[in-house]
């Protein structure tokens, strides 16, 4: 019985705490993430763990603002807002004052400082941050794509890629894929190995989506010898022999000619330099269609 009373007391305490929670309404003509972060940062200075944050996103007209005011008028609260459309901002300021509700503008004071200091006018256009976010997530998606379709792991990505890189081992396919992915391109790369049959998708790649990578035999010999050393193997293994390298390069060039793709020599080039050349070559290929 005592145990039951204790449980009830705890529940009652929780209910009382919930009823006493302070509320801030985050109002925005976009998602409202900026306002929410600012509110949380301030709330931590006032035992923010008992603060309730209510969101009203994508405010587009006076009715949206009136809905928030009706809710906020029921109990002491604060409205923290990020609204860049002047007409909506002015309406919210006026109506909040009439209702006796504290409304805090989180953007316009800084926007005014920008205007005065840099002598520039703002766009007063909502959702611009979301456009930046789309660009960010596009890059993340491209990086995930490059990882998934690296080194020919899954041929399904070959025809879905913006760019396909083909070449023999140690021609910088993977670092180039990652670098181009950070520029927002979905890149797949396929290793060319004489003993390994290529997936049929390789021969269906549009030539303006594919680039072949080659390298000088001498440069490749040095790179592969260093690779063998890092693996604790002897440098005279077949992988680094000139005969093997020449055979692979000959095989690769035949494949690239069959595909009909442009070919770039990566010898003594930085990743950035090669990537820029790839984009330039493909741009010319696509413009010629």
CA distance 202 to 174: 17
Q: Is 21 annotated as a binding residue?
A: no
Alpha helices in the chain (DSSP H): 2-20, 33-43, 62-72, 86-99, 108-118, 128-148, 173-181, 217-230, 242-259, 271-287
288 annotated to a ligand binding site: no
DSSP structure class, residue 185: -
Phi-psi region of 127 (alpha: psi -120 to 50; beta: other; left: phi over 0): left
Q: Which residues of 35-55 are buried (b: 16+ CB within 10 A; e: fewer)?
A: bbebbeeebeeeeeeebebee
Report CA 168 to chain centroid distance, whole Å. Answer: 30
The residue to which tokens 């993340």 are assigned:
140
- Binding site annotation covers 44? no
- What the block records as the tokens of 268 is 């003594």
What DSSP state is assigned to residue 198? P
What gap in Å lies between CA 263 and CA 253, rounded to an integer? 9
Could you tell me if 101 and 79 are in contact, meaning their C-beta atoms sit under 8 angstroms apart? yes
Residue 52 among known ligand-binding residues = no
Q: Is 214 annotated as a binding residue?
A: no
Strand, helix or coil at 143?
Answer: helix
Is residue 250 part of an annotated ligand binding site? no
Q: What is the Cα–Cα distance from 57 to 264, expressed in whole angstroms?
A: 49
**Any binding-site annotation on 184?**
no
- Residue 225 · residue 169 · CB < 8 Å: no
In the 8-state DSSP scheme, what is residue 168?
S
Residue 241 marked ligand-binding:
no
Classify residue 1 by its DSSP letter. -
Residue positions forming the annotated binding site for ADP: 167-174
Residue positions forming the annotated binding site: 167-174
């Amino acid at each position: 019985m005592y145990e039951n009373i204790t449980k009830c007391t705890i529940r009652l305490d929780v209910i009382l705490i919930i009823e006493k929670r302070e509320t801030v309404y985050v109002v925005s003509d976009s998602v409202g993430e900026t306002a929410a972060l600012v509110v949380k940062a301030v709330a931590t200075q006032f035992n923010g763990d008992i603060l309730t944050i209510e969101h009203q996103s994508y405010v587009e007209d006076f009715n949206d603002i009136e809905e928030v005011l009706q809710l906020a008028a029921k109990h002491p609260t604060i409205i923290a807002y990020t609204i860049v459309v002047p007409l909506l901002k002015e309406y919210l300021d006026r109506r909040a004052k009439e209702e006796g509700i504290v409304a805090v503008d989180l953007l316009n004071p800084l926007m005014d400082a920008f205007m005065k200091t840099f002598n520039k006018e703002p766009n007063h256009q909502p959702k611009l941050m979301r456009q930046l976010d789309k660009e960010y997530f596009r890059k993340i998606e491209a990086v995930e794509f490059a990882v998934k379709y690296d080194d020919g792991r899954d041929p399904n990505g070959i025809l879905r890629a913006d760019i396909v890189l083909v070449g023999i081992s140690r021609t910088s396919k993977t670092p180039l894929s990652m670098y181009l992915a950070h520029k927002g391109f979905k890149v797949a790369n396929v290793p060319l190995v004489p003993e390994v049959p290529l997936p049929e998708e390789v021969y269906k790649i549009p030539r303006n989506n594919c680039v072949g990578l080659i390298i000088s035999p001498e440069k490749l010999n040095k790179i592969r010898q260093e690779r063998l050393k890092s693996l604790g193997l002897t440098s005279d293994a077949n992988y680094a022999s000139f005969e093997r390298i020449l055979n692979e390069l000959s095989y690769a060039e035949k494949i690239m000619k069959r595909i009909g793709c442009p070919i770039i020599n990566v010898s003594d080039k930085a990743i950035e330099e090669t990537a820029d050349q790839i984009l330039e070559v493909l741009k010319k290929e696509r413009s010629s269609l």
